[in-house]
């Protein structure tokens, strides 16, 4: 498992209470708490357009005439799925495909200004303490195209400023997040190995016998399954977990959901990120076993969130946690919201070992081409800290390889290659070059 950042966004479009949505990116954890209070009235205001034959054209995503399926490629960054979308047939952008998001979100208002669209509402998004976090706008009657699947009449939530900074922690340009509008219309197959997504017409799809089928509950647009967790003390938790393609972690456990949830003695209590109300803390350890139907995983990296360290009301959508890309990317995954099933088949990464941030470093991409890499955070007590690296150092070279030739995924891959590997890093600090040597460590 690579290092990740959790961006915790409460995109709650149907309840006054908050629902925790976690978007991981890449580092320890960046958590932004956004409670979109009162957004239940976000609605599409467009009327069904009429085609040349005088027939109303349906709103929402529609499979092209005569096709049973449509396949598109995707990029995978820190277990997050990034797909190409086209807004209003004119503006090509990249969005994260996220089962945890109900309404499509555009993170930068600048792009919508290019389309000269009008907005039906302006919303002040408050933080956890009620203070203003950012302004957002609702645009209606937006056309969104994915591959050759077109959807008309969409509502789009547009942030005034890019609070999420997805591109800086993924190392690629990402402009928004899309989810339920696609999953609710099609059976969606995600092949993490071939990096291809296939959308099937649910009326024409024929089940493939090579997959295991599990019951899938869709509640308030979010998908849930039951899974079994063997904890470090030997007890078993049979829990309800959200399937979260917009998260890079393997499993997240919410300690407030069940008093029986325990943490491995060998764990890290760490600052998971920054919120407007202060720092968010939690524990990173391992669970002895995670079982999903007939599939069993040992020594899985787990994030434990404690109620006293974050202010979130989970009563609207009770669950014990979530299963993210760290687990999902080990399968070929099919999500069938329409009939209520999750299909799984082993993928090429099924037996990949679970690891957590062997370097102790959080790296942020910057610059016009996102090829300037800065140390954004250093875990206390790690070998890199002992070698004298500090926050703000600009990484120039790693083990003889110039960072000019590396994407952020490549760089993070080197920094998490294997425990006990020696890293020789050249950094720029105050216009001077320094060479630091440290060893990758397995701390949990």
Average pLDDT over residues 424-439: 98
Domain 214-265+278-323 has CATH 3.90.110.10: no
Domain at 361-439: CATH code = 2.30.42.10
Point out which residues pair with 302 in neighbouring strands.
251, 285
**Is 42's pLDDT higher than 60?**
no
Instruction: Give me the mean pLDDT over the 335-341 stretch.
Output: 96
pLDDT at 396: 98
State yes or no: pLDDT of 313 exceeds 70: no
> What tens digit of pLDDT does each residue of 98-117 get?
998 889 999 888 888 888 88
Can you say whether the dihedral through the CA atoms of 119, 120, 126, 132 is positive or negative? positive
Q: Note the pLDDT tens digit of each residue in 67-83.
A: 999 999 999 999 999 99
CATH number of 6-200: 2.40.70.10
Which pLDDT band, with edges at 50, 70 and 90, does 316 fall under? low
Token digits for 388?
């004298």
Does the fold of domain 361-439 match that of domain 6-200?
no
Rounded mean pLDDT of 112-123?
Answer: 85
Question: 54-58, 72-76, 121-125, 271-275 — which one is most confidently predicted on average?
Answer: 72-76
H/E element holding 410?
Answer: helix 408-414
Structural domain boundaries in the chain:
6-200, 214-265+278-323, 361-439
Pairing of strands 176-178, 91-97: parallel
pLDDT at 272: 63
- Tell me which residue of 4, 31, 36 sits closest to 279, measured CA to CA: 31
Question: What average pLDDT score do residues 226-254 get?
Answer: 94
User: What does the pLDDT read at residue 339?
Assistant: 95
Strands annotated E in 88-221: 91-97, 104-106, 121-126, 132-146, 149-159, 176-178, 187-191, 196-200, 212-215, 217-219
Considering only residues 16 and 381, tell me which one the structure prediction assigns the higher pLDDT.
381
At 164 the pLDDT is 73
Residue 384's nearest CA partner among 411, 421, 420, 423 is: 423
Tens digits of residue pLDDT in 133-166: 778 899 999 999 999 999 999 999 998 888 777 8
- Measured from the Cβ of residue 51, the count of other Cβ atoms closer than 10 Å reads 8
> How buried is 331 (Cβ within 10 angstroms: 0-12 exposed, 13-18 middle, 19+ buried)?
buried
At 219, the pLDDT band (50, 70, 90 cuts) reads very high
Q: What pLDDT is recorded for position 135?
A: 84
Q: Would you place residue 2 in the very low, low, confident or very high pLDDT band (cuts 50, 70, 90)?
A: very low
């Amino acid at each position: 498992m690579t290092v990740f950042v959790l961006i915790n966004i409460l995109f709650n479009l149907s309840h006054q209470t908050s629902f925790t949505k976690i978007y991981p990116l890449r580092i320890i954890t960046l958590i932004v708490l956004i409670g979109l209070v009162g957004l239940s009235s976000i609605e599409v205001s467009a009327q069904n357009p009429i085609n040349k034959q005088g027939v109303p054209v349906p709103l929402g995503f529609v499979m092209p005439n005569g096709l049973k399926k449509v396949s598109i490629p995707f990029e995978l960054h820190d277990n997050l799925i990034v797909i190409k979308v086209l807004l209003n047939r004119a503006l090509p952008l990249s969005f994260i495909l996220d089962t945890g998001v109900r309404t499509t979100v555009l993170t930068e208002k600048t792009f919508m200004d290019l389309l000269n669209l009008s907005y039906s509402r302006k919303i002040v998004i408050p933080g956890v303490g009620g203070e203003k976090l950012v302004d957002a706008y609702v645009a209606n009657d937006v056309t969104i195209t994915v591959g050759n699947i077109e959807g008309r009449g969409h509502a789009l939530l547009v942030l005034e400023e890019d609070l999420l900074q997805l591109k800086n922690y993924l190392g690629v340009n990402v402009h928004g997040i899309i989810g339920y509008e696609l999953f609710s219309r099609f059976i969606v197959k995600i092949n993490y190995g071939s990096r291809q997504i296939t959308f099937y017409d649910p009326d024409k799809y024929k089940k493939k016998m090579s997959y295991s089928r599990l019951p899938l509950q869709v509640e308030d647009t979010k998908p849930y399954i039951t899974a079994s967790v063997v904890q470090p003390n030997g007890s078993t938790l049979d829990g309800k977990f959200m399937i979260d393609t917009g998260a890079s972690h393997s499993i997240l456990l919410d300690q407030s959901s069940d008093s029986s949830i325990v943490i491995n003695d060998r764990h890290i209590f760490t600052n998971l990120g920054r919120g407007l109300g202060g720092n968010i803390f939690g524990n990173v350890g391992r669970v002895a076993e995670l079982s999903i139907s007939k599939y069993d995983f040992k020594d899985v990296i787990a994030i434990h969130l404690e109620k006293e360290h974050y202010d979130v009301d989970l009563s609207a959508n009770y669950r014990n946690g979530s299963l993210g890309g760290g687990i999902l990317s080990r399968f070929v995954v099919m999500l069938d919201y329409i009939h209520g099933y999750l299909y799984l088949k082993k993928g090429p990464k099924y037996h990949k070992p679970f690891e957590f941030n062997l370097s102790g470093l959080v790296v942020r991409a910057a610059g016009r081409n996102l090829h300037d890499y800065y140390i954004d955070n250093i875990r206390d007590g790690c070998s890199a800290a002992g070698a004298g690296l500090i926050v703000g150092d600009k990484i120039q070279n790693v083990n003889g390889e110039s960072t000019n030739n590396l994407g952020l995924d490549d760089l993070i891959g080197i920094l998490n290659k294997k425990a006990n590997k020696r890293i020789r890093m050249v950094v720029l600090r105050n216009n001077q070059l320094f060479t630091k040597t440290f060893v990758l460590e397995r701390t949990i």
